[in-house]
Amino acid sequence: MQDCSAALLGPYCADPFGVPRYSATIWIDFFNGHLASSTRRKYAAAANALYHQAERMTPPIDLDAALLSADLSSLEAVLSANLLSGADSLNGQSRWRLSKQFVFSILENVVRSDTAELGRELRRIKRLYAQLRPSGRQPNVRLRAIPAVALEELYEVFRPDSVRNPFRTDALKWRNFVILLMLTQLGLRKGEVLSLSVSALQTEFDEKAGGLRHWLSIDGSLLQQDTRARQASLKNGPAMRQLPISLALLTALDTYVSQFRGDPPHAFLFSSLQDGPLAASTLDQIIATAVDCLSVDAVDAIRRHADGKLSAHSFRHTAAVIRLQRFVSSGMEHDEAIRRLRPFFGWSRDSEMPFHYARAYFDPRYAQLWDEDFEASLAALREGVFG
């Protein structure tokens, strides 16, 4: 941002050669020329930051050309990158608000929504970015979602009838398969998996749907009876919740409990080989054993996209990504998607975690991961309930 000659009477945005930016000049001098110079200076700073962001993209984006041609794909990429670059909480939120206002003002008042399709798309991206805001610090989202190629293979490794399954007995195979489904479909935390009771599966008749409804109750009711050296725990109050489960998980869970769990001297759902409650270290070892069975390509994908390692929490990241992807793909408004994420994953009302996932979803660094078809990658897991 610079001060131009007296002819322009105030702040403006200029390109590297000192030439005023076309769209920004219209927005600052024509649409908002009545505002005080100090206010217009903030507008110019916000627009200028967006131009600079566009020029840093790979490949660079001509923001004026994108605005005037209504190239919404390029504009979404620039807005997303601009959101992620906001480091200071107060200034970052103010600049983000003005940057959105600049883009939508030009599209609505200069380009206009000449077609019904353009109008719908413009409304969509306005809703999409309405609830996003910069974090109070430089983004450092370590998203460890499992790449599709690795997720596909993990299902193959864990499937009880798979020749690749490394676990020795049918009881272990079914126990570990149920754990995989819970981690992937429900995004349970490690402590939540280990705290489940054998009576966690609940069923009732749904008069509205005209059939049985099944859900998993996470309530921590057995935690006071936990004799493990490293006791299981629930992270917070919102972690106590009831989650609808898929037919695939229902069938696997019923098979495990009725045929392979046995009659251990405790009420926890999952047992060790010695019939004690399953330990956290054993759960870690189950995942590590499965990873050892993956192909070179799958391991390389994990190295590139998941920090080179998998944990129970990696599956939680994956479940959140899949659910958010389905919400966005279905056209759900962003604030509604955030509202649904919170109770499902056990986040408190003021938790920033949904916004971390939302920002990461739009982060160009993760574009390759999001472009992969998670629906295809989940194969037999696609019966999971993600709505």
Q: Which residues, in sequence order, are bridge partners of residue 268?
A: 197
Q: How many CB atoms lie within 10 A of CB 375?
A: 15
Cα-trace Rg, the chain: 25
Tell me the two tokens of residue 84. 């992620």
Note the pLDDT of residue 90: 46
Helix (H, G, I), strand (E, B) or coil at 241: strand
Overall average pLDDT of the 221-228 stretch:
87
Q: Say which residue, 163 or 80, is predicted with more confidence.
A: 163
* pLDDT for residue 368 is more than 60: no
Overall average pLDDT of the 159-178 stretch:
96
Q: Phi and psi dihedrals of 143, rounded to 5?
A: -85, 120
Instruction: Tell me the pairing of strands 2-3 and 11-12.
Output: antiparallel
Tell me the two tokens of residue 238. 């919102």
- Is 0.75 topped by the overall pTM? no
- The tally of CA atoms less than 13 A away on the side-chain side of residue 296 is 0
* pLDDT for residue 220 is more than 70: yes
* pLDDT for residue 75 is more than 60: yes
DSSP 54-77: HHHSSS---HHHHHHTT-HHHHHH
Task: Classify domain 148-383 at the CATH topology level.
Answer: hpI Integrase; Chain A (1.10.443)
pLDDT digits (tens, 9 = 90+) for 128-160: 666 555 554 444 445 567 877 888 899 899 999
Q: Which residues contact 378 (CB under 8 A, 6 or more apart)?
A: 151, 152, 155, 184, 322, 384
Task: Confirm if 197 and 221 have CB atoms less than 8 A apart.
Answer: yes
* pLDDT for residue 176 is more than 70: yes
Note the pLDDT of residue 113: 55
User: Residue 248: is it exposed, middle or buried by C-beta count within 10 angstroms (0-12/13-18/19+)?
Assistant: middle
User: Residue 106: is it exposed, middle or buried by C-beta count within 10 angstroms (0-12/13-18/19+)?
Assistant: buried
Overall average pLDDT of the 197-213 stretch:
83
Overall average pLDDT of the 325-341 stretch:
71
Q: Which residues, in sequence order, are bridge partners of residue 216?
A: 201, 243
Nearest Cα to Cα of residue 107 among 78, 70, 160: 70
Measure the CA dihedral 306/308/309/313, to 10°. -20
Note the pLDDT of residue 320: 83
Note the pLDDT of residue 107: 85
Note the pLDDT of residue 340: 82
- CA terminus-to-terminus distance, the chain: 46
* Domain ranges, ordered by start, for the chain: 2-130, 148-383
pLDDT digits (tens, 9 = 90+) for 227-242: 888 888 888 888 888 9
Dihedral sign computed on CA atoms, order 321, 201, 254, 211: negative
Q: Which residues contact 23 (CB under 8 A, 6 or more apart)?
A: 47, 63, 64, 67, 68, 102, 106, 110
Q: Say which residue, 368 or 120, is predicted with more confidence.
A: 120
What's the rounded Cα separation, in Å, for the pair 308 and 303?
3
pLDDT digits (tens, 9 = 90+) for 251-261: 999 999 999 99
pLDDT digits (tens, 9 = 90+) for 82-129: 776 654 444 566 777 888 889 888 888 877 655 667 777 777 666 666
Question: Across the chain, what does the average pLDDT equal?
Answer: 79
What's the rounded Cα separation, in Å, for the pair 357 and 320?
7
Amino acid residing at 294: L
Residue count of the chain:
387
Note the pLDDT of residue 89: 44
Dihedral sign computed on CA atoms, order 54, 60, 66, 68: positive
